[in-house]
Amino acid sequence: MTQSTMIHHSPAWQRLTVHATEMRDVHLKSLFAERSDRHARFTRRGAGLTLDLSKHRWRDETLSMLLELAREADLEGAIARLQNGERVNRSEDRPALHTALRLPREASLMIEGEDVVPDVHETLARMQAMVEKCHAGQWRGATGRPITDVVNLGVGGSDLGPLMVTHALADYRPRDVHQVDIHFASTMDGSQLADYLTRFNPATTLFVLSSKSFTTIDTLSNASTARDWLMTRLADGGQDTQMSELVMRQHFIGVSAKPEKMSEWGIEPRHQLHFWEWVGGRYSLWGAIGLPIAMAVGMDNFRELLAGAHDMDRHFRETPLEDNLPVLLALAGIWNVNFLDVRAHSILPYDGRLEYFASYLEQLEMESNGKSVTNSGEITPYSTCPVLWGQLGPNAQHAFYQLLHQGTQAVECDFIAPVRRYDRVEDPATRAHLKAQHRLTLANCVAQSRVLMLGDEALPDDAPRPSHKRYRGNQPSTTLLLDRLTPRTLGALIALYEHKVFVQATLWDINPFDQWGVELGKQIASETEQILASRRGAESLDDSSRGLLDVIWQAQDAP
Ligand SMILES: O=P(O)(O)OC[C@H]1O[C@](O)(CO)[C@@H](O)[C@@H]1O
């Protein structure tokens, strides 16, 4: 692609640029005053989700132009190429086939002459065998006692997805099985792991080493601390060879795309789960990386999660662009970022179970689309991924909503909530209380998006107010309702965002499946670590880094 064929030179982009000059000064409250049917016009349903995009600063014609832009970028062709397994990850020359991980058993997907679906389901069957063994109390540690705690050691995509889903689906933990608690340790400083090691019994703790590359230092350093802990406590520091073998066999499962590296590390081949290079790390929770999820909620619920994502995959592939949820969500983002200069995006779930959803999306969106070079190597002359962050909405109300309401930044917000909750709680009195709490939460969710939209106008009277009590409103937002938060709707919700990211990447002509930006940091950190440990070579560093290392060394030398 040359400068002149880039998306910002396309007719639709040009029309949108002109249109944006008119829309920039139009307040959301006037758009709502113009028509009484905005909610119906801008709301779509699919895969158990309701998406209300009426609180964006756009009109029907804006959406038509954005859809035109999507057609000019051949979005429909791109969706087919993604799901058919073409090599859409161009810088790494491979497909990005997370959608294949949720294909049903009877489907088939030929990639370079081979059907990948049987392998996907074989891995699921192997996961199932491991999960059932744990849930039957039959997975025993080196001393013969059943495993009670499973610790996932992974980082990035090998941590955030499983952590987020395990937490979100905690209500779905099976009660009638041997109880196994699931934990996560990701940080390279060892602080999360150290806490577990002081509290858990080594005889009943199983570690899952999750790493696509099996070279990530964060995970490998946690893994070696865990191995030493087990060896010290159970195998006389490795002197007892029989126990050492049992520890390696019974206390570690490995999940990776690099079986030879897992074997080198000492993981028993029967306890290795594999996945494929064509699954991106941040798109990997649907296969073996999802083992902690399956351990927590059981395999039936894990398969429901996959079914929900598959519902969304089909919706994405089969629904016309104008009714297509991921496409519309992505276009709202493009309109905000590229035409209205809204460069910040906040994710605000109104349900405590979605506590880790924003952190998960931070990686999904920003590691995927935080790029400034097009697929053909040109610098993008337009903005790409906004700064995206978030927190549980009710808690954020007492933290950063002040900035949303009265700060100087324009921020796009996603409000996410389940419509029904607690209707299955057994005790009637508790149920009544909890349902009232849920109603309160929904009221806050709707009220906040309304105030962000209308500003002062949301107030019941128009009495004069000092400027510090004024709300300007006009902050665009999306509201996303789930009927209930179930494995199926959660699967659809995650896939919705995955596909949204893909749509935006297609329009921006960037590759959402690589992450070269994080590689340099890893290399430099490893060189710095050598200098820090050996105290040699600091003269090659800049003045600040040298000064900081001096402070560290002086502190280390202090009595
Ligand atoms: O699963 P791995 O190979 O350990 O990588 C962990 C994470 O590290 C990253 O490469 C970023 O450093 C992510 O893309 C990935 O999810």
The structure tokens listed for 400 are 């950063």
Give the CA-trace dihedral at 15, 21, 25, 30, to 10 degrees.
-20
Instruction: Say how far apart CA 98 and CA 75 lie, in whole Å.
Output: 18
Hey, what amino acid is at 372?
S
Does 435 qualify as catalytic in the annotation?
no
Whether ligand 1 lies within 6 angstroms of the CB of 212 is answered as yes
HEC string of 387-406 equals EEEECCHHHHCCCCHHHHHH
At 112, is the pLDDT very low, low, confident or very high (cuts 50, 70, 90)? Answer: confident
pLDDT tens per residue, range 174-227 = 999 999 999 999 999 999 999 999 999 999 999 999 999 999 999 999 999 999
Establish whether 457 is a catalytic residue: no
- pLDDT tens digits, one per residue of 233-273: 999 999 999 999 999 999 999 999 999 999 999 999 999 99
Q: Report the pLDDT averaged over residues 47-61.
A: 97
pLDDT at 542 over 70: yes
Q: Is ipTM strictly over 0.90?
A: yes
Q: Can you give the C-alpha Rg of the chain in angstroms?
A: 25
Per the CB < 8 A criterion, the answer to whether 277 and 94 are in contact is yes
Residue nearest to atom 7 of ligand 1 (CA): 156
DSSP state string for 293-349: HHHHH-HHHHHHHHHHHHHHHHHHHHS-GGG-HHHHHHHHHHIIIIIS---EEEEEE
> Is any ligand 1 atom within 6 A of the Cβ of residue 162?
no
Q: Ligand 1 pocket, 186 CB below 6 A?
A: no
Q: Supply the pLDDT for residue 1.
A: 54
Do the beta carbons of residue 286 and residue 120 sit within 8 Å?
no
Distance from the alpha carbon of residue 156 to the mean position of ligand 1, in angstroms: 5
Residue 529 has pLDDT above 60, yes or no: yes
The average confidence (pLDDT) of the chain is 96
What is the reported pTM? 0.96
Task: For residue 207, report the phi and psi dihedrals to the nearest 5 degrees.
Answer: -105, 135
Residues 6+ apart with CB under 8 A from 98: 279, 280, 283, 284, 286, 498
Cα angle, residue 423 at apex, residues 422 and 428 outer, rounded to 5° = 90
**Beta-strand pair 114-115/110-111:** antiparallel
186 alpha carbon – ligand 1 mean position (Å): 11
Q: Tokens standing for 353? A: 């179970």
Share of the chain above pLDDT 70, in %: 99
10 Å Cβ neighbour count for 438? 19
Choice among 288-292, 319-323, 453-457, 482-486 with the minimum mean pLDDT: 453-457
Give the ligand 1 atom nearest the CA of 216. Answer: 4
Ligand 1 neighbour 254 (Cβ under 6 A): no
Q: What is the per-residue pLDDT across 456-475, written as a single tens digit (0 to 9) for each?
A: 888 888 888 899 988 999 99
pLDDT tens across 494-515, in order?
A: 999 999 999 999 999 999 999 9
Read off φ and ψ for residue 36, nearest 5 degrees. Answer: -95, 0
The pLDDT value given to residue 387: 98
CA distance 262 to 208: 11
Q: Which two tokens stand for residue 450?
A: 């309304």
Is 95:280 a contact under the CB 8 Å cutoff?
Answer: no
* Atom of ligand 1 lying closest to residue 213 CA: 3
Cα–ligand 1 centroid distance for 365 (angstroms): 14
Is 522 one of the annotated active-site residues of the chain? yes
What pLDDT is attached to residue 459? 83
The H or E element that residue 66 is part of is: helix 60-72
Rounded distance from Cα 109 to ligand 1 centre (Å): 26
Q: Kindly tell me if the per-residue pLDDT of 86 is higher than 90.
A: yes
pLDDT tops 90 at residue 4 = no
CA of 9 to the centre of ligand 1 (A): 35
Ligand 1 pocket mutation, candidates 187, 208, 216, 511, criterion most atoms within 8 A of CB? 216
Q: Is 161 in the pocket of ligand 1 (CB under 6 A)?
A: no
Q: Which residue's alpha carbon is at the smallest distance from atom 4 of ligand 1?
A: 211
